[in-house]
Amino acid sequence: MSSLTKAMVSEIRAFNRFYTKVIGALQAGMLDSPYSLTEVRVLFELAQTEQMETGELRGLLDLDAGYLSRILTRFEVDGLISRERSASDARKQVVRLTAAGSETFGGLDERSGGEIERLLSGLSEEEQRRLVAGMTEIRRLLGGAGEREPYVIRAPRPGDLGWVVHRHGALYGAEYGWGIDFEQLVARIVGDLDFSRDAGWIAEVGGEPVGCVFCVHVDETTAKLRILLVEPSARGLGLGRRLVEECLRHARAEGYRRIVLWTRDCLESARRIYQTAGFELDSEEKGMENGIEVTEQMWSRDL
């Protein structure tokens, strides 16, 4: 091993020691819980799906079969999981979180978010961006081709509104053939934003904007969800759903009793997000965009 390689190994090991201390990985229980880091990770993976085969869980986390079995036995005794034979293959066992398991994970997840917020609170916005970018680069270099980058949802900054107009015009022009009139419509919506009463969110991956949504004041009881967009490169990450959830959360916090939105029926992915979020179709009518027939739709939901 060369002296340069030894120095690099030493630096990486020093970083590992530092970071495990920062996140509390060496403590007996993670997040003031009776569970270890590995056990909390098992709960996390089970919380992401309705049920999972033990073999799939073992492969996902690269755990020894006996070690995983002991973890699951402990969870079963604590009432956090249930286990049963797979309906499709009796040789396999499927695991799911119980209601108590979901509640336990929810509490741990909330505490984890609070710990990260406290970690970031001592850093400036620019330092936070550098930290996240550095973590993203580590994941990219060491995570392999299948590793997805994390995303950040934040308030708009100078330059973001121009990006919103540009990407709506370019993206919907390329995907649906909508022309300059549509881009001008988005520009008018953006130009009319009043951030003393309106709000917006930008989604970022790797320090670059990849999505947006805005919550606009209509009247004292009604808000409007506007210009939801997710870049093709970031689709499949759940960003659209998260942006809509953020908009709904804000509207409720501001005391609105109803929220509405305008869309077109060809935007199928967006429509599924709206339906999942509880919106219902109120009306629709035919229209034209750049010589292309479209179906305009109005959706709404109570808050």
Taking the chain (303 residues) in runs of 10, the rounded mean pLDDT of each run is 70 76 57 78 84 84 86 91 80 87 87 81 80 74 62 91 95 91 96 95 89 96 96 84 94 96 92 93 93 94 95
Q: Are both 238 and 183 inside the same structural domain?
A: yes
Predicted confidence at residue 54, as pLDDT, reads: 85
Q: Which residues contact 175 (CB under 8 A, 6 or more apart)?
A: none
Predicted confidence at residue 105, as pLDDT, reads: 85
Q: Are both 89 and 208 inside the same structural domain?
A: no
| 3 state SS of 194 | coil
Q: Are both 170 and 115 inside the same structural domain?
A: no
- List the domain range (segments joined by +) for residue 187: 152-302
CATH at 33: 1.10.10.10
Q: How many CA atoms lie less than 13 Å away from 279 in the CB half-sphere?
A: 26
Q: Are both 106 and 181 inside the same structural domain?
A: no
SS3 content of the chain, % helix, strand, coil (to 5): 50, 25, 25
143 within domain boundaries: no
Number of domains in the chain: 2
49 within domain boundaries: yes
Task: State how far the Cα of 45 lies from the Cα of 188, in Å rounded to an integer.
Answer: 44
Helices assigned H by DSSP within 122-201: 125-143, 160-176, 180-191
CATH at 234: 3.40.630.30
133 within domain boundaries: no
Predicted confidence at residue 229, as pLDDT, reads: 95
Q: Are both 156 and 298 inside the same structural domain?
A: yes
Q: Are both 157 and 274 inside the same structural domain?
A: yes
283 within domain boundaries: yes
Helix (H) or strand (E) holding 178: none
Q: How many CB atoms lie within 10 A of CB 251?
A: 23
Predicted confidence at residue 279, as pLDDT, reads: 96
DSSP state of 233: G
Beta pairing partners, 152: 204
Q: Are both 294 and 166 inside the same structural domain?
A: yes
pTM flag (> 0.75)? no
131 within domain boundaries: no
Predicted confidence at residue 250, as pLDDT, reads: 94
Predicted confidence at residue 126, as pLDDT, reads: 76
Predicted confidence at residue 258, as pLDDT, reads: 97
Predicted confidence at residue 31, as pLDDT, reads: 62
Nearest in space to 270 (alpha carbons), one of 247, 237, 241, 302? 241
Q: Are both 165 and 280 inside the same structural domain?
A: yes
Predicted confidence at residue 26, as pLDDT, reads: 44
Task: State how far the Cα of 216 lies from the Cα of 214, in Å rounded to an integer.
Answer: 6
Q: Are both 163 and 247 inside the same structural domain?
A: yes
Q: Are both 160 and 286 inside the same structural domain?
A: yes
